[in-house]
Structure 1
Amino acid sequence: MFKNILFDFDGTIMDTSPGIYDSFDRVVEHYKLDYPRSEYHRMIGPPIRDSFRDFLGFQEAEVENAIKVYRDYYAVEGMYNGDIYTGIVPLITNLRKSGKKIFTATSKPEYYTRKIIERKGLLELFDFIGGSDISEKGRTSKQDVVEYVLETQNLSEKKEDCILIGDRKFDVIGAHAVGIKCAGILWGFGSREEFEKAEADWIFETPEDVEKFLLS
């Protein structure tokens, strides 16, 4: 059914929450904010610039410095702190064996995404790694990233052959805005209720469920 599979990264391919949460800690501590760690999950999915503004209450003038505080830790140590979800490597391996093309489409900066995938020894599993620009000012939203992946991979005229797999409503919204289908997955940071409200095309509980669907 679908020949080109786009994967979100955080919460879909990898549980990046340990390193992200530690990096959020640095920001909360630096600014002496009263923001509970139990709410950090809300900030995984949107562009970090939006999260800092919408959830931590930063004014636009302070967002740049807050991102620097975050990245001073994340870029050195935090981004490697996490694990690839069980079942993801077999899923992507089997999809590739069947002739499907595999891409990432993540709001995480492309530079960091590539470095993490390379460190985990999985670079050969992907035909292209697409993410936001490092400044997170131009290509930031999921719609921006999906459009970027389709354009650079000459898939803009083949949208019916493409699907995005992701764990948050932002994936559904971004995919639909571009004109491709989106499947929500439940092993990440989102919920069934979130996907139903966002009108995800499909909802899957495990990587095995995704594989059965894409290879059926």
Structure 2
Amino acid sequence: MTIPFTDCFFDLDGTLTDSAPGILNGVQLALAHFGLHPPRESLNFFIGPPLLESFARYFPEEPDKARTALRIYREYYRERGMFENSVYPGMAGLLADLKAAGSRVHLATAKPEPFARIIVEHFGLLPYFSVLAGAELDGPRHDKTDVLRYALGLAELPPEARPLMIGDRHHDVEGAHAVGLPCAGVLYGYGSREELTAAGAEHLCDSVDGLRRLLLPA
């Protein structure tokens, strides 16, 4: 079988795992520290982008408060939140079949790399990845473009490679395009069809089975 993509760069939150429970629990705890109790359903924008930028939306003129909120969030996430999470049904099998078919699988997430590594190892996904690239906890590599550029450097793709980014938010599409990659947007995550279409995703997949049909056509 000829695989359409030789290298698949996967986002983590909303693409490989349903991580909303742990992320939103941590965000609510951090905001409550400042007496803020927004409705939980209004906080989905925290899933995907760099968290400091998201907290800054609540403290636009008070960067110290945004950093404190991030610290509180990370303390919770490190101890509990990262495990309030689950792999989407069928995803582990897809990663295994991609690897067996000769496609290299890579992780490219804006989540801090130490957390990402713990999560994929906890769920038994680490053996599938050739490259694991995430954001730095306190460094310049923090958005999806920076992470993808880093991941591409680690992957050392040959000229004949046919790579693809797979993610659920517009940041994934925009980051992919910034480094010259096409992107498949998944609709089972946290981004909408409208968001991914507006960002210019080349493919849309409404389920893990739909993603399988794109990556491993019969």
TM-score by length of 2: 0.93
Counterpart position of 1:72: 75
Deviation at 1:159, TM superposition (A): 8.4
C-alpha spacing 1:180/1:61, structure 2 compared with 1 (3 Å): same
CA RMSD in angstroms, aligned pairs only: 1.4
Contact 2:48 2:169 in 1 (8 A): yes
Contact 2:15 2:186 in 1 (8 A): yes
Counterpart position of 2:12: 9
Query: How is 1:51-130 mapped onto 2 (pairs within 5 angstroms)?
Result: 51-54=54-57, 56-58=58-60, 59-130=62-133
Counterpart position of 1:161: 162
Query: How is 1:168-207 mapped onto 2 (pairs within 5 angstroms)?
Result: 168-207=169-208
Contact 2:22 2:84 in 1 (8 A): yes
Moved more, 117-126 or 2-11: 117-126
1:132 aligns with 2:147: no
Moved more, 69-78 or 116-125: 116-125
- CA-to-partner distance for each residue in 1:113-137, whole Å, 9 max, x for gaps? 00011111221121121110111x4
- CA-to-partner distance for each residue in 1:121-166, whole Å, 9 max, x for gaps? 221121121110111x4111100000000011212x6485211000
C-alpha spacing 1:159/1:179, structure 2 compared with 1 (3 Å): farther
- The one-letter code sitting in structure 1 at the alignment partner of 2:180 is G
- The one-letter code sitting in structure 2 at the alignment partner of 1:21 is L
Provide the rounded CA distance (Å) in 2 between the counterparts of 1:159 and 1:36.
Answer: 48
Counterpart position of 2:148: 146
1:40 aligns with 2:43: yes
3-state secondary structure, aligned to 1:117: helix
Contact 2:9 2:105 in 1 (8 A): yes
Provide the rounded CA distance (Å) in 2 between the counterparts of 1:38 and 1:178.
Answer: 32
Provide the rounded CA distance (Å) in 1 between the counterparts of 2:40 and 2:160.
Answer: 39
Contact 1:160 1:180 in 2 (8 A): no
Contact 2:50 2:111 in 1 (8 A): yes
1:29 to 27, 32, 40: 32
C-alpha spacing 1:103/1:25, structure 2 compared with 1 (3 Å): same
In structure 2, the gaps of 5 or more residues are none
Identity %: 37
TM-score by length of 1: 0.94
Q: How many residues are aligned here?
A: 213
Counterpart position of 2:53: 50
Moved more, 35-44 or 105-114: 35-44
